[in-house]
Chains A and B, each alone.
Chain A
């Protein structure tokens, strides 16, 4: 069974640009969550999607957005990039129903560097 796949793995952008990251969950998993990981702040929850609906949202500005497609694949977008957006963006999928906590399966992440 293939794991969670994230693309691209590494990318470099400049301030003001926008970026789109992609996540393909484990087959059969309908929930996809996104986390931002930085050395200072640790793992911070961005949002979770289940069956194409955003179920939860973290405390990030509106520049951070996401969506989920009917095949459960998800994308997140960051517009007007700032230096502080440099981070490892992790996608995680799980099989449980919305509202039920279950084991998260993380992808290897997309390392974003903003110059």
Chain B
């Protein structure tokens, strides 16, 4: 079945450093979503990318969808302690045309040293 992979699962950075993480799918995705879960919290939607090669920015966060629509990246410029949390990517399952089921990657947990 479709797999969405995020490696590594943990990353530690010094505050102020840049951070980039990647998400890879075994199949072409119609779109990809990113969520953030703070420690002890629940996932919160960040962004959805739909077009091949699409780039979207949210303040210090930059999201990109690959040209082949099988991978995506999240880049954080000058990390802050408020960026701490687990970032998940998710893509819809399309084999049966049932686009509504989202498959989540296992997420990357970011810690930031002040």
Q: Which listed residue, B35, B41, B100, B104, touches A56 by the CB 8 Å rule?
A: B100
Q: Which listed residue, B41, B44, B99, touches A101 by the CB 8 Å rule?
A: B99
| Complex contacts, B45 vs chain A, CB 8 Å | 103-105
Report the interface size for chain B: residues with CB under 8 A from the other chain.
Answer: 25
A107 close to chain B: CB less than 8 A: yes
A62 close to chain B: CB less than 8 A: no
A52 close to chain B: CB less than 8 A: no
Chain B facing A: main interface SS: loop
Compute how far the CA of A100 lies from the CA of B102 in the bound complex, rounded to whole angstroms: 11
Task: Please judge, given known A-B contacts A48-B100, A56-B100, A101-B102, whether A108 and B48 are in contact too, CB under 8 Å.
Answer: no
In the complex, how many residue pairs between chain A and chain B have their CB atoms under 8 Å apart?
68
Compute how far the CA of A101 lies from the CA of B101 in the bound complex, rounded to whole angstroms: 8
Structural contact, B102 and A99, CB atoms closer than 8 A = no
Residue among A35, A44, A106 with max Cβ neighbours from chain B (10 Å): A106
A25 close to chain B: CB less than 8 A: no
Residues 8-37 (chain A) with a chain B CB within 8 angstroms: 31, 33, 35
Structural contact, B99 and A100, CB atoms closer than 8 A = yes
Task: Please judge, given known A-B contacts A48-B101, A56-B100, whether A101 and B92 are in contact too, CB under 8 Å.
Answer: yes
Chain B: minimal CB distance from A58 (Å): 8
Chain B residue nearest to A106 (CB atoms) is B42
Structural contact, A99 and B97, CB atoms closer than 8 A = yes
A84 close to chain B: CB less than 8 A: no
Compute how far the CA of A50 lies from the CA of B98 in the bound complex, rounded to whole angstroms: 12
A55 close to chain B: CB less than 8 A: yes
Chain A: minimal CB distance from B22 (Å): 16
| Complex contacts, B30 vs chain A, CB 8 Å | 101
Q: List 19 A–B pairs whose Cβ atoms lie within 8 Å, in order of A's numbering.
A: A43-B43, A43-B88, A44-B104, A45-B101, A45-B102, A48-B101, A56-B98, A90-B42, A99-B98, A99-B100, A100-B99, A101-B30, A101-B33, A101-B100, A101-B102, A103-B33, A104-B43, A104-B45, A109-B42
Q: Which residues of B contact A (CB under 8 A)?
A: 30-31, 33, 35, 41-45, 48, 88, 90, 92-93, 97-107
